Each structure stands twice: as structure tokens, then as C-alpha cells.
Amino acid sequence: MVDNFYKKKLTEYFKRNLRKKYPVDTLRIALMNQGYLRATVDEAAREAIKELASEAPVLKDAPQIEHEVIADEEPVIEKKSFWKKIVGFFKR
């Protein structure tokens, strides 16, 4: 009975922190450092992940990706390199 109470509390803890994007391994280590049993922590983590997965929306269709090419109206001006400018200066 007590183990079930702790498991529910740990499951809620996992769900709350997984929604905040904390990694599962970090949460497990933190709980084990606080003295919780590894088996209870692992069961609570699995239960929380299962509950969050069941709450997630199901995507029915893949999103359509559209590409559009935008052409510039301005012509591209090629710049002369430094050495071409120097050679052109001395050819005058």
C-alpha cells in the first residue's frame, strides 16, 4: 500500500518534470540519491512515460512542405580581386 502511494507520487514527479524537458536519467539519479529504491523509481518512470505517450496527440497526416524559389531582379556584379585591380591600374 505504501509502495503504491510512493509509486503514484514518483509517477507524478516524473510526468511534471518530463513536461519541463528534464532528461529521464537525471530524474532517476536524483531520486535514487534521495534514497528511493531503484526498482520503484524505474517502475514510476516507465508508468509516467506510458501515460505521457497516451496523452500525446496522434498525427494523422504528414505535413506538406512547399518550396518557392525567389529570384532577385538585380544583376549580380562581379567584384575584381585586389590583384586584378593592381594589374589594371598599372596597364593604364
Domain assignment present for residue 77? The answer is no
Domain assignment present for residue 17? The answer is yes
Q: How far apart are CA 44 and CA 2, in angstroms?
A: 14
What local confidence, expressed as pLDDT, does residue 41 receive?
93
Q: How far apart are CA 7 and CA 43, in angstroms?
A: 8
Indicate the DSSP class of residue 50: H
pLDDT band at 1 (very low <50, low <70, confident <90, very high): low
Domain encompassing residue 27: 2-55
* Residue pLDDT, tens place only, 30-72: 999 999 999 999 999 999 999 999 987 877 788 788 888 777 6
Domain assignment present for residue 11? The answer is yes
What local confidence, expressed as pLDDT, does residue 17 receive?
95
Indicate the pTM of the whole model. Answer: 0.60
pLDDT band at 19 (very low <50, low <70, confident <90, very high): very high
What local confidence, expressed as pLDDT, does residue 83 receive?
85
